[in-house]
Amino acid sequence: MSLELTAIVRKDPAGGFVAFVEELPGANTQGETLEEARENLREAVALVLESNRALAEQSLVGADVIRERLIA
């Protein structure tokens, strides 16, 4: 998939880094190092998308819908 998101990373005064994705509420994390924060953020994005997909599927049970792949 070629979708691009914007990661925001801030140094935490208490130590480490805090990171979130501007376009995806709920995708936020932290890490002791910049690379750990980045890696954790990739995982957070995957988890938020997986969770949102499961919630959508539950809400559509029994509904007559068209499901198709979207590449953005």
Confidence check: pLDDT of 50 > 70: yes
For residue 1, the model assigns a pLDDT of: 56
Count of structural domains, the chain = 1
- pLDDT for residue 3: 84
Q: What is the pLDDT of residues 2-30, one digit of tens each?
A: 789 999 999 999 999 999 999 999 999 99
What is the rounded CA–CA span in Å between residue 15 and residue 71? 38
Q: Are 44 and 24 in contact (CB under 8 A)?
A: no
Q: Does residue 67 sit within a domain?
A: no
- On whether residue 43 sits in a domain, the answer given is yes
> Residue 62 pLDDT > 90, yes or no?
yes
Residue 28 belongs to a domain with what CATH number?
3.30.160
Please tell me which residue, 70 or 52, carries the higher pLDDT value.
52
Q: Quick check: is 18 in a domain?
A: yes
Host domain of residue 42: 7-59
Beta bridge partners of 11: 17
